[in-house]
Amino acid sequence: MPHTIIEPFRIKSVEPIRWTSRAQREELLRAAHYNLFLLPADDVLIDLLTDSGTGAMSTHQWAAVMEGDESYAGSRSFERFSGSVRDIFGYKHVIPTHQGRAAERILFGITCKKGDVVPNNTHFDTTRANVEFVAAEAVDCVIPEGRDPRCNHPFKGNMDVGALEQLIARVGRERVPLVMLTVTNNSGGGQPVSMENVRQVSAVCKKHKIPLYFDACRFAENSYFIKVREKGYESKHPKQIAQEMFSYGDGCTMSAKKDGMANIGGFLCTNDDLLAQQEKDLLILTEGYPTYGGLAGRDLEAIAVGLQEALEEDYLRYRIASTAYLGNHIAAQGVPIVQPPGGHAIYLDASAFLPQIPPAQFPAVALATELYLEGGIRSVEIGSLMFGKAAKMELVRLAIPRRVYTQSHVDYVVEIILEVWKKRESIRGLKLLYEASFLRHFTARLEPVA
Ligand code: F0G
């Protein structure tokens, strides 16, 4: 069999991207207060800010869009959507939401109260913020290997089961309304969780009668990692793996903007009838009627098809290989990255890249802005700006949109990162001029230190 793993698709529609000069980028960055979220997207050449909602839809998805039934209640598209979700996830109740954080807000809003504690391998920023918004505490319990960028472990997203047990013992079972597992572990480097770990966490939850929920955004990538890295799963189809994984839980939150292969959408699942009723009541108040949940019928159709496409083996082989291609090419030249490469993104270790910049001067923001200046590449900081004092690492995430960029785009990104690597000693930190009281990284204003 040939070694070259090609994009398993042909390109049918293209979207131009625009070059800017370095002088223009310097000006644009100043105007954006050194916050890449505040840049106009047209001034970005290669946009690796996120893999969320930025993917390319397939011909099958676009065809399904035309089948969208926009009926307010009981739409046919909801039947197709919930059928597709149930086929993979297996949960009894499927509640559509406009994106992942809406599912989080509803779930935590109903199940959590002041003083409660929610363990997770690692909370994503919106997940943490939604837990904290109801005055509960979000606790990260990832294995110690998951906090060491250089440590090469096949399942760095695993939950530290001992730490979970201790946490439950310390705070008391009645203060833990649910346990969450994020697959893959986005904030920790896009690292997978093993099936063995899922089983162990599930056993702890069952023992204490605590519901286990998945933050399932990248469930297909996680399933593929299990297939290629965990004994006993080599010959299983990614869909069978996903089905088994979800069978150990009681529900999930999902952003369909990731492994749903759609530009918008999400859902909340549960097996609990009473909880589902409360969730649907709140949904009607803030999102929409339970058969559309803030989405158009055409969005539901795109997700129904996208979820199944995300589990195709050819796609996943290409997806995981193309992300690793970026990571391996820069790591080979000495650039410090979170090892091994994640599923949806490569994470530069900014503390090791820029040891001269202390966390208080946001080394990962400095590195991200430098990549923009050098080559018009947009990435995102996952570090002290995003998480404040809760930050365990200073990372720059280069997230790869699904089915969007080709290998030559990635070669260009490699070249730019290596240029910045050469001039790393001259890069300075930043200071914060404005911050919001939560999720401050989206709107923060900064300037380079003198
Ligand atoms: N959970 C995880 C693990 C996520 O990565 C995200 C979003 C969410 C929940 C929230 O979903 O955006 O649909 O409301 N992550 C995006 C990212 C934004 O760039 O990683 P959402």
Number of H helices and E strands in the chain, helices first, is 16, 14
Number of domains observed in the structure of the chain = 2
Is 302 in the same domain as 335? no
Is 365 in the same domain as 293? no
Q: Which atom of ligand 1 approaches the CA of 102 most closely?
A: 14
Q: Which domain holds residue 196?
A: 59-309
Structural domain ending residue among the three candidates 309, 338, 353: 309
Q: Each residue of 69-99: b (16+ CB within 10 Å) or e?
A: beeeeebebbebbbebbeebbbbebbbbbbb
Is 236 in the same domain as 334? no
Residue nearest to atom 8 of ligand 1 (CA): 100
Q: Is residue 136 part of a domain?
A: yes
Is 81 in the same domain as 47? no
Is 325 in the same domain as 383? yes
- How distant is the alpha carbon of residue 291 from its chain centre? 25
Structural domain ending residue among the three candidates 309, 329, 360: 309
Per the CB < 8 A criterion, the answer to whether 365 and 391 are in contact is no
Is 215 in the same domain as 277? yes
- Mutation to probe ligand 1, out of 48, 124, 396 (largest number of atoms < 8 A from CB): 124
Residue nearest to atom 19 of ligand 1 (CA): 50
Backbone angles phi, psi at 184, to 5 degrees: -70, 170
Residue 409 C-alpha to ligand 1 middle, in angstroms?
Answer: 24
Q: Is residue 8 part of a domain?
A: no
Q: Which amino acid is at 120?
A: N
Is 282 in the same domain as 321? no
DSSP labels for 234-264? TTS-HHHHHHHHHHTSSEEEEETTSTT-SSS
3-state DSSP call for residue 218? coil
Name the residue with tokens 């589990």.
311
Q: Is residue 2 part of a domain?
A: no
Q: Is residue 363 part of a domain?
A: yes
Is 46 in the same domain as 67? no
pLDDT of residue 437: 85
Residue nearest to atom 20 of ligand 1 (CA): 50
Is 270 in the same domain as 298? yes
- CATH number of 165's domain: 3.40.640.10
Backbone angles phi, psi at 278, to 5 degrees: -65, -40
- CATH number of 427's domain: 3.90.1150.10
Residue 450 C-alpha to ligand 1 middle, in angstroms?
Answer: 35
Q: Which residues of the chain have pLDDT under 70?
A: none
Instruction: Name every protein residue with a CB atom under 6 angstroms from any ligand 1 atom.
Output: 50, 52, 99-101, 124, 126-127, 182, 186, 215, 217, 255, 257, 266
pLDDT of residue 189: 87
Task: For the chain, report the end-to-end CA distance as a whole number of angstroms.
Answer: 56
- Mutation to probe ligand 1, out of 98, 217, 386, 387 (largest number of atoms < 8 A from CB): 217
Is 316 in the same domain as 430? yes
Structural domain ending residue among the three candidates 241, 275, 309: 309
Is the pTM value of this prediction over 0.75? yes
Is 166 in the same domain as 75? yes
Is 278 in the same domain as 348? no
Q: Is residue 440 part of a domain?
A: yes
pLDDT of residue 1: 74
pLDDT of residue 401: 98
